Chain A
């Protein structure tokens, strides 16, 4: 049984994306938060900023590492998870839920190419570990 929810898709850079209508919610995966360790700071974009697919939209930091965050789909930022300012460890505690990062309004030509479903992502993580 997969530990990754089936209601969303996953990227090779370990973000998840859940699309509901025109809006998509984005976060990092449980695997990514474990690799990163205790999250101490999340730098998120301003509302209204527009990004291309695969573009860096922020960074996430643990004590001794920084990871860039990449947007799996092109779109405009319509919401950021403000609770992460005070509680960045929500990313560790509930990466697929309360630890979400941003919501975007998906661009009209926004495609979800190259993303994986839960099972494929789980396999991808296993293979990455072996390499």
Chain B
């Protein structure tokens, strides 16, 4: 039994496999959230100003700090890490590996962060300056994109995906990179008054452009670049080259879909703010 999804080398079957490491990881994050923010709170947040915030964001959109956001993010993370997506992405199909990337680094982190109540996290002076540095938009953007490049290098993928520890490492780097990337967009700690909606929109637009190199490399390579997927037992006879092409497109299209949705929300909030309507600036 494997504790984390990694390349197996055996033929793919739809027989369910248990990955206890994934369950433990998800459970730990869930417990940490419950301990920090969720204890004694119903699913719909009751923190100060939640009702006003909900009204401000249009009434139908739950406010920041709503545990449902966090649960959604956690569910998304679990879906990406566990069988079958985790197993297929770890050792069989590059396209599913890319789907994992989109879910772990781009979809799950903003939902997890949206589940953190306004005004949190409360930070000590030491960690505040470190967090301020790490989540500085320029540094966050550069870090995230270096992570994208580094974790899609053939030598890195072929080496790390072959082992459970390596596969775990890639998943964690994606998750942490995603949290760092989304932090300045969603959380108001540390406060960055100069980083308003227009800047946030610019930040996300820039992010849609910088992964183009990896997308082009995967989509237009004449040969399969990852040996782990090229030499994996075939799944439904999907050729390695086609699978890789889909992976490249998924990177571009999947990333764009998530980022442009966020850009749309930011535009809406900016519009409301400009029209002197009380919208939450921290709600992306």
Does A associate with B in a complex?
no
The residues of A with any CB-CB pair to B shorter than 8 Å are none
- Residues in chain B within 8 A of chain A (CB atoms): none
